[in-house]
Amino acid sequence: MIDTWESKLMTFDLNKPSENPVELTLKNFNRTGFNPHGISVYRDPSSGTVSLFVVNHRPDAQAIEIFDFERETHSLIHRRSVVDALIWSPNNLHAVG
């Protein structure tokens, strides 16, 4: 049997615990093989841009996907993928810039 579930990233407002989580739309990103694991949020102090860094266990490589959060559309816009031979078994990360 092949598992056909689709990975999603969602938000949850801790100030409104009775509301359901809301799925984030992923823009400019191919979700095929998207297997998110650890995540980290970074807010640029000079521009206010909020970015999400996601460990992705892709079928072809281990990657860090970097998205920018677009509040108006509740979307993540894919900025880039970081793939390197030194990233061999990531479980989590901490974005610092």
* Residue pair 88/62 in contact by the 8 Å Cβ criterion: yes
CA–CA dist 57, 62 (Å, integer): 5
Show Cβ contacts of residue 41 under 8 Å, excluding neighbours closer than 6 positions: 50, 51, 52, 53, 95
Residue 22 confidence (pLDDT): 94
Residue 5 confidence (pLDDT): 60
pLDDT single digits (tens) 65-78: 999 999 999 999 99
Q: What is the pTM of this model?
A: 0.88
Please identify every stretch of the chain with a pLDDT value under 70, giving residue numbers as ranges: 1-5
